Structure 1
Amino acid sequence: MKETSKRTPLYAQVRDYVIDHIRSGKWRAGRKLPSETQLSKQFDVSRITIRSAMAKLVEEGIVYRVQGRGSYVGQYAGEKEPIRYAKPDLDKDGLHLVALILPKMRGNLMTRLTSGVEAGLDGSRYRILLMTTDYSQAKEEEKLREAVQAGAQGIIIYPSDGQTYNEGMLRLSLDRYPIVVLDRYLRGVETNCVCSDHYTGAYEATEQLLRQGHRRIAFVSPACAGTTSLEERLEGYRQALNDYGVIFDKSRVLERGEQEEIEAFLKDKTDLTALFGANEEIGLNAIRAAEKIGKAVPERMSVIFFDDYDHSGDARIPPTCITQQGERIGREAANRVLSLIEDPHQSRVMIRVPTRLIVRGSTAPVSEGID
């Protein structure tokens, strides 16, 4: 036994150790492997040897790497088969499926995204398989697997909030499955992405308030960390303040969006004259919160927010907002996924779609005596 070990190259011993743990079920798909430093100490070998073993495992599709995060179990998925891509027979007659996975199927943006994808697929042999996740990452993984099992030849997905990467999407992307991500990209993972220009949209929203004389402006959002679209909106807000000579005050950033929480925030920050909401729900909650504590909109509190809603121009307080071009985003995503189905080995791209500022009645110049 000792002689066999001596004749086996050190990197192969490490490789066999990893494979044995996977085959035995000790390490399941998606499990992070020990670091190179840990393995080099365990086997008393150099990190170069460990890297050679990892490179071989990656080449074999057993392990995959995420930049800045480490190595993970890939191909072996325990009791479940891994998600893998097989290029469709494009000469086969009949219709094929493209899965559209959304967090919900309500609201102006989601409706327009769906219309855009449908329009982009019109004239092709592909039709939508619509699935929703209710913002659950567990359901998202489930829907990805169901889409592949249903025979979808491509996937367009709007991920849940707060992700740096999604295990299923990562495996599909590494497998060159035709997948296009909407709204935000996944850090450390090269994916095809179609999204709004969140940074510029947020900059323009903040600039609109600054041009009206506001200097004490709040930013209200869900938790930003891990959701690149929200991170970019916060950065656009910050940069606009900087460009107009306003010092960024972290205490004016609230990363919670319920009406009661916004009410408490506005009661505490009595000097605020304007608020930028990172999405429609937060913006509407902010208007209700401000009015409930006696700050009339827009007379004593200007409110602007990302996204629009149907018939908003007829609202009691028509909102000033940044609107996303949902139909165009959907069309671009459909065109991209069709192109990837034809050639899955294309270079990955990010497509940014401009936003538009719509000025209505929820913002106004600072009133005398307020700022």
Structure 2
Amino acid sequence: MGETTSSKPMYEKIFDEVKQRIVTKAYKLGERVPSEKELAEAYSVSRITSKKALEMLATEQLIVRKPGRGSFVADPSIDYIESASPLAINTGRTASTSMNHKEKMIGLIITDFGNSYGTGLIYGMEQASRDNDCFLVLRRTFGIPENEEQSIQKLLNLGVDGLIVFPAQGEYFNAEILKLVIGRFPLVLVDRHLKGVAAASISSDNMTAALKGTEYLFDLGHTHISFLSPPPVDTTAVEDRIEGFIQAHAKRGIVVDQELWVSDLTSTLPNSFNDENIERDISRLVAHLQNNPSITALFAIEYNIALLAKTAVERLGLRIPDDISIICFDSPPTHLGGGYPFTHMWQNEQEMGRIAVENVLSIMNGHTVPNKVMLEAKLIPGESTGSAKQSRDI
């Protein structure tokens, strides 16, 4: 087999050639046809492409796919009907038969997870997978793009029917994600969307959440707020939170002073969490607060950055919230680990996880899902915010 020269997509070319072999009885009734792997190697394409071709053949009832055994030329006198229940075979006679099919298998690729963010996502996905009789396979990337690419490849080789991906922090999306999108493989992105890529995504409404959190600080009298974040590096979740922070200032007619921001904190990024980096970031925040005594509140883009800020404030002998208020995104329940009760924007992780699973299953079944789903994040008052003081001394 070789690549043809027409302008058709490769999966259509493979579909046409295998169909022709079936119609001409080169592949006889009940005979096994080449597998995804064999077709991919024969046509020098990815397994996403060969999988798509076989799915098209199955849709036209030219083949029947038998998990663990392969794909076989279908009997035209039998209707193969797949539904949410086990695969049913309707022969058109008075009696009907059924046969088991494998559970749908969904691959989950996530940077990492912990008490502050991620665990709730997995809980929601795990419950949704149980409710929908499918199986979830997890791989962590620790924010390394190379790990993400390898994880996608390995899960595809494992035979997953769909993928949920929490993209690695970085300036670009990897080539494997682009291949999934081009090949129309069932894919849902979590926590962020990728610019220029038509892939379904589910996240919090980060811009509105940051706007609400900033307005909460304004209502307490804070107008000199330091925004704390890692480098945005074209990550939409970070960019949307920055945009919400700026829009809140515009709504209230308050000038945005970016000199008060710290946007180069890196110790909380995946694969960068070590004592040396943590100490460097804390020292950076201590110096920043010393050099900018007008700051009365800190808006940390995530919980771990809020912890860095709290340590920096305490090193200066200042009190939270009497001298400095802190607000952040996410905060572990204090009854689960004795964590500090920050005022925070609470993200509905379990609902995000549930929707991610249900949307990828819908895509598998040929249904259209919204390109972008954004859930409301709620403000949860804690002990880290209070009324602004007119001035403070360091």
What is the TM-score of this pair, normalised by structure 1? 0.76
The yes-or-no answer on 1:95 pairing with 2:103 is yes
In structure 1, the gaps of 5 or more residues are 1-18, 20-52, 63-75
Does the CA contact (< 8 Å) of 1:313 and 1:319 recur in 2? no
- Tell me by how many angstroms 1:359 deviates: 0.5
Correspondence for 2:314 among 291, 308, 323: 291
Answering whether residue 364 of structure 2 is matched by residue 353 of structure 1, we say no
Contact 2:105–2:134 at 8 Å: present in 1 too?
yes
1:234 partnered with 2:242: yes
List alignment gaps of at least 5 residues for structure 2: 13-39, 59-64, 66-81, 88-99, 266-280
Aligned partner of residue 131 in structure 1, secondary structure = strand
AA at the equivalent of 1:358: I
Whole-angstrom distance in 2 between the partners of 1:307 and 1:107: 9
Letter in 2 for 1:271: S
Larger Rg: 2
Pick aligned residue for 1:275 from 289, 298, 313:
298
Shift of 1:313: 9.0
Instruction: State the SS of the aligned residue for 2:139.
Output: strand
Aligned to 1:220: 228
CA contact (8 A) 2:227 2:300 kept: yes
Shift of residue 370, structure 1, vs aligned partner: 4.1
**Deviations along 1:233-282, whole A, 9 cap, x unmatched?**
00100111111121111212211233222222222222100010001110
**Structure 1 residue 210 corresponds to structure 2 residue 218:** yes
Alpha-carbon spacing, 1:310–1:318, altered in 2? closer, same or farther (3 Å): closer
> AA paired with 2:184?
R
**1:190 pairs with 2:174:** no
**Length-normalised TM-score, structure 2:** 0.71
Kept in 1: contact 2:341–2:382 (CA 8 A): yes
Give the superposed CA RMSD.
2.8
Q: Does structure 2 retain, via aligned residues, the 8 Å contact 1:195–1:329?
A: yes
Q: Does 2:353 correspond to 1:330? A: yes
Please give the alpha-carbon distance, in whole angstroms, between the structure 1 residues aligned to 2:337 and 2:110.
28
One-letter identity of the residue aligned with 1:147? L
Give the letter for the 1:193 counterpart: S
Equivalent pairs, count: 305
Residue aligned with 1:142, SS? helix
Shift of 1:124: 2.5
Task: Give the Cα separation in 1 of the matches to 2:47 and 2:111.
Answer: 21
Runs of 4+ aligned residues of structure 1 deviating over 3 Å after TM superposition are: 56-62, 85-90, 312-317, 368-371
Indicate if the aligned counterparts of 2:164 and 2:356 stay in contact, CA closer than 8 A. Answer: yes
Identical pairs, percent: 26
Give the Cα–Cα distance (whole angstroms) in 2 for the partners of residues 96 and 316 of structure 1.
38
| 1:92-115 CA-partner distances (Å, limit 9, x unpaired) | 523231011111132342111001
Residues 165 and 188, structure 1, Cα contact 8 Å, conserved in 2: no
Is residue 330–residue 346 contact of structure 2 (8 Å, CA) maintained in 1?
Answer: yes
Residue 154 of structure 1: CA displacement?
Answer: 0.6
Q: Aligned equivalents of 1:129 and 1:149: distance in 2?
A: 13
Cα offsets for 1:257-316 (capped at 9, x unmatched): 332222222222221000100011101111111111122111111000011213279858
Distance 1:272 1:60, change over 3 A: same
Could you tell me which residue of structure 2 aligns to residue 82 of structure 1? 46
d(CA) in 1 for partners of 2:235, 2:339: 32
Give 1:229 deviation, angstroms: 0.5
Change (3 A) 1:317 1:139: closer
Is 2:163 the partner of 1:141? no
1:316–1:185 distance in 2 versus 1, CA, 3 Å:
closer
With over 3 angstroms needed to count, the CA separation of the structure-2 counterparts of 1:131 and 1:316, relative to structure 1, is: closer
